[in-house]
Amino acid sequence: MSIVLFSILLCVPLAASVYCGLETRRKRLETATWIASAITFGSSIWLAAAVLEHTTLSSPQGWFYADALSGLLALVVSGSSLVTALYSVGYFRRLAREERVSSRETRLFYALFNVFVFTMMFVLLANNLGFLWIGTEATTLGTTFLVALYDRERSLEAAWKYVIICSVGIALALFGIMLTYFSALHVVPSSANALNWSTLVSVAGQLDPAILKLAFVFILVGFGTKAGLAPMHTWKPDAYAEAPTPVSALMAAGLVNIALYALMRFHILVHRAVGGSFVSTLFIIFGLLSMGIVIPFVLMQRDYKRLLAYSSIEHVGIIVFALGIATPLAYFGALLHLVNNAIAKLLVFLSAGNIRLAYRSKIIHRVSGAATLVPFSATLFLVGMFAVTGWPPFGLFISEFTIVSAGFASGAIWESSAFIFFVTALFGGFIYYAGRMVLGPVTAMQSTGEADITTIILLTVLAVSLLVMGIWIPEPLRLLLHRAVLVFQQ
């Protein structure tokens, strides 16, 4: 049964991408993509249910593997891709209508979009650390052309920076994986198994701590680059700002979680093997650094898409910080925050995309009075910004509160206080700019109006679910989160 499930999750996006590469009619491209995303999302729900029932699923030879953590993240990533796919339909139709995109670019987008989803699912299901690496590098390669979709100077610059920096990072991560394999070979008899995460975790106590510490440093730098952890975050603002809206949204809600997933897997392994506070200290330092380094850039920002990218860096920092606290409550907070952050990022990026289409500008001071021009998108954008900065009653407030409580409970007083300070400081910056954009007199010369009704409904659903998550977590989700926390603790 696991084989069937894994095959669907992997083959459907792959097949869709091949189809989109060959197909030329836009209607078919759209349908293929959102149907493929829907099937993937449905399969993820099935996967989550299966994992709740069987605890772990493996393919023969142990190359692919799923447990509660994979299930949770698969839900988040495939859900994000479904939302983005649905949004893209309206988005690209509008662009085509206004002749701002060629049909070739549209076709390229849909084909690469499905490749992107495929690579992400590949990483999530990989048990073999080598596969994990290959998949992560593949996500970089797959998204490069998406970032550079519009053939502009700045897009090329952003995409170039993105590929180079992420490839360097991932290369360092490969060294870390080699070191892990090296330490495993002494312990695990068969070399075919020595790269499998599930096997490694079971023998973690026998692995050489010194080697794993060194390996972990490389892996943290490598996958941290992919996640956008400071100080390796420099590619993020450029890439998110220059990429088309659906791409930025999926990167912020999907790709980030892939990198975090890899970090989590290694966190579990190395923490088990090394013990003590080595891993935690590193995570807390990098997490707080990411949150703090963002402050000057947020307070003095001209471009609202870059602003959102910095928000993404901040939230990656929050999740990593929570993983560093390393208590069950903190893990729960981290995973909850991951879910909420994905929803909020989708909301905020996609509504900003609508504003961008209406105003034809990414510069903050050129956008004003959005509430009048594009009322729905503006409201949703403002709601999203409040959510993203951790304002109650939205879901992120709950998760951040959980994290801070866990921090104080475990005795990390200074660190948690720094956390609160950073979140508050950033709140001011985000809300100020959001307010300036939404309120005030209208400045656009001409506007192409509001997005279509399906998109509005989609975004409203997102906003509502954020609200809901702030008050009540649905029972199946809560169960999944608990099981995922257990994975951390096994």
Partner 1 sequence: MGPGAQTISQYIDILAAMILVTAFLIVSSRSLTFYVRLFSLQSFFLAAVALLVAIGYGEMHILTAAILTIVVKVVAIPIVLNKITDAIKVRKEIDFTINVTVSLLICGGLVIVADSVAQPILSAQTGDTLGVSRVLPASIAMIMIGLFIMVARKKAVTQLIGLMTMENGLFLSGLAITYGMPMIVEVGIFFDILMATLILGVFMFRINRTFESISMDTLRSLRH
Please report, as ranges, the residues that interact with partner 1 according to CB under 8 A.
Answer: 128, 130-131, 133-134, 137-138, 141, 144-145, 148, 151-154, 156-161, 163-164, 167-168, 171-172, 174-175, 178-179, 181-183, 185-186, 191-192, 195, 208, 210-211, 214, 237-238, 241, 297, 300-301
* Minimum distance from residue 389 beta carbon to partner 1 (Å): 20
Beta-bridge partners for 196: 128
* Minimum distance from residue 329 beta carbon to partner 1 (Å): 35
Strands 57-58 and 65-66: antiparallel
* Minimum distance from residue 286 beta carbon to partner 1 (Å): 20
Of residues 63 and 408, the one with the C-beta less far from partner 1 = 63
Of residues 145 and 421, the one with the C-beta less far from partner 1 = 145
* Minimum distance from residue 413 beta carbon to partner 1 (Å): 33
Q: Are 321 and 403 in contact (CB under 8 A)?
A: yes
Of residues 177 and 316, the one with the C-beta less far from partner 1 = 177
Of residues 208 and 450, the one with the C-beta less far from partner 1 = 208
Q: What is the helix (H) or strand (E) element at residue 66, kind and residue range?
A: strand 65-66
Alpha-carbon gap, residue 175 to 369, rounded angstroms: 51
Let me know if 199 is exposed, middle or buried by CB neighbors in 10 A (0-12, 13-18, 19+): buried
Of residues 11 and 141, the one with the C-beta less far from partner 1 = 141
Residues in contact with 342: Cβ distance below 8 Å, sequence separation at least 6, in sequence order: 76, 79, 80, 253, 254, 257
* Minimum distance from residue 330 beta carbon to partner 1 (Å): 31
3-class DSSP state of 136: helix
* Minimum distance from residue 297 beta carbon to partner 1 (Å): 6
**E-strand stretches of 97-147:** none
Which phi and psi (to 5°) does residue 442 adopt?
Answer: -80, 135
Q: Are 363 and 303 in contact (CB under 8 A)?
A: yes
* Minimum distance from residue 35 beta carbon to partner 1 (Å): 27
* Minimum distance from residue 207 beta carbon to partner 1 (Å): 10
Of residues 80 and 128, the one with the C-beta less far from partner 1 = 128
Contacts 24+ apart (CB under 8 A), 429-434: 429/295, 429/298, 429/299, 429/301, 429/307, 430/298, 430/307, 430/311, 430/385, 430/388, 430/389, 431/385, 431/386, 431/389, 433/301, 433/304, 433/307, 433/364, 434/381, 434/382, 434/385
Q: Are 324 and 284 in contact (CB under 8 A)?
A: yes
* Minimum distance from residue 111 beta carbon to partner 1 (Å): 15
Of residues 233 and 337, the one with the C-beta less far from partner 1 = 233
CA gyration radius, the chain: 21
Of residues 50 and 147, the one with the C-beta less far from partner 1 = 147
* Minimum distance from residue 121 beta carbon to partner 1 (Å): 16
The structure tokens 């080595």 sit at 278
276: left (phi over 0), alpha (psi -120 to 50) or beta: left
Of residues 184 and 338, the one with the C-beta less far from partner 1 = 184
What is the CB neighbour count within 10 angstroms for residue 413? Answer: 10
Q: Are 61 and 6 in contact (CB under 8 A)?
A: no
* Minimum distance from residue 46 beta carbon to partner 1 (Å): 27
Whether the ω angle into residue 393 lies within 30 degrees of 0, i.e. cis, is yes
Of residues 53 and 153, the one with the C-beta less far from partner 1 = 153
Of residues 219 and 330, the one with the C-beta less far from partner 1 = 219
